Amino acid sequence: MSEPALPPLQPLDEDWDRALAVVAHPDDMEYGAAAAVARWTAQGKTVVYAMVTSGEAGIDGIDPAESGPLREAEQIASAALVGVDTVEFLHHPDGVLEYGLPLRRDIARLIRRHRPEIVITTNFRDTYGGTVPNQADHIAAGRATLDAIRDAGNRWVFRELLEEGHQPWDGVRQLWAAASPVGEHGVDTTDYFEAGVASLEAHAAYLAGLGGQMGDAREFLESMSRGNGSRLGTRFAASFEALPLKF
């Protein structure tokens, strides 16, 4: 019996100027969302990246003390290829990231500083659909980002941020989670697919250590983007779960 067809994707709202992407690791944005970022920066929008960890535990053959700086450098080069000039690293420990107040506080600080209209993260559901489990750092970072959006708008939460000079910001309209198994929205990335591939290929050391299907940037992204495109009515697309935060 064939799998039931997935419902069509609805176009994301692109009437905004500033976004902040908060993800667990270098390379997380590149596995699905970077081509959309290239589209948005080409429209004149500003997108800032923040990595909660430096991905230092992500390459088995390279000690974390060496891998962390290497992966930070790869992420900065990767982001530049899709028009992102600002990349920040929060330096939480890779692989053992914990959801909790310290993480929420650090992300709330970012949101108050950058004052985005849209916040982007990656899938924070338990799986990628079916029996494919999500990774623990992704879940912790995404859920902390969702809660930090509310924290950023409440002056009575993390009062020390006020003492640091970070005024509340409640201007985030939506949270977008890339590659969510319940994503119902999409972005046409047809004209920016090559930029997305180049941005993932910029993580050369990571891809070399990863191997397998996910180590082949073009093949992986083409398969995923083509499937999303069929749901949006375009050649290629990126999918997102869109959570409204203003009612």
Report yes or no: 112 and 171 within 8 Å, Cβ to Cβ.
no
Average pLDDT over residues 7-35: 97
Nearest CA among 95, 103, 107, 99 for reference residue 135:
95
- pLDDT for 1: 42
Dist CA 68 CA 213 (whole Å): 23
| Single-letter code of the amino acid located at 227 | G
Inform me whether the pLDDT recorded for 187 exceeds 50.
yes
Dist CA 187 CA 9 (whole Å): 9
Inform me whether the pLDDT recorded for 46 exceeds 70.
yes
pTM: 0.96
- pLDDT for 130: 82
With a pLDDT cut of 70, the percent of the chain lying above it is: 98
CATH class, range 19-244? alpha beta
DSSP H or E segment with residue 72: helix 64-80
Rounded to whole angstroms, what are the CA distances from 46 to 17, 37, 116, 184?
Answer: 6, 9, 9, 24
Widest CA span of the chain, in angstroms?
Answer: 61
Inform me whether the pLDDT recorded for 213 exceeds 90.
no
Average pLDDT over residues 53-66: 96
- How do the domains of the chain map onto residue ranges? 19-244
Dist CA 85 CA 75 (whole Å): 11
Structure-token pair, residue 87:
């990349």
Dist CA 41 CA 97 (whole Å): 30
Inform me whether the pLDDT recorded for 38 exceeds 70.
yes
State pLDDT tens for residues 89-123. 999 999 999 999 999 999 999 999 999 999 999 99
Which residue spans within 76-135 are E strands per DSSP?
Answer: 87-89, 118-122
Dist CA 139 CA 122 (whole Å): 9
Inform me whether the pLDDT recorded for 129 exceeds 90.
no
Contacts of 6 (CB under 8 A, 6+ apart): 231
Lowest mean pLDDT among 4-13, 78-87, 198-207: 4-13
State pLDDT tens for residues 138-149. 999 999 999 999
Average pLDDT over residues 195-224: 92
> Could you tell me if residue 98 is left (phi over 0), alpha (psi between -120 and 50 degrees) or otherwise beta?
beta
- pLDDT for 3: 58
Inform me whether the pLDDT recorded for 4 exceeds 80.
no
> For the residues of 127-163, what is the DSSP string, one character each?
BSSTT-BPPHHHHHHHHHHHHHHHHHH-TTSSHHHHH
Dist CA 139 CA 145 (whole Å): 10
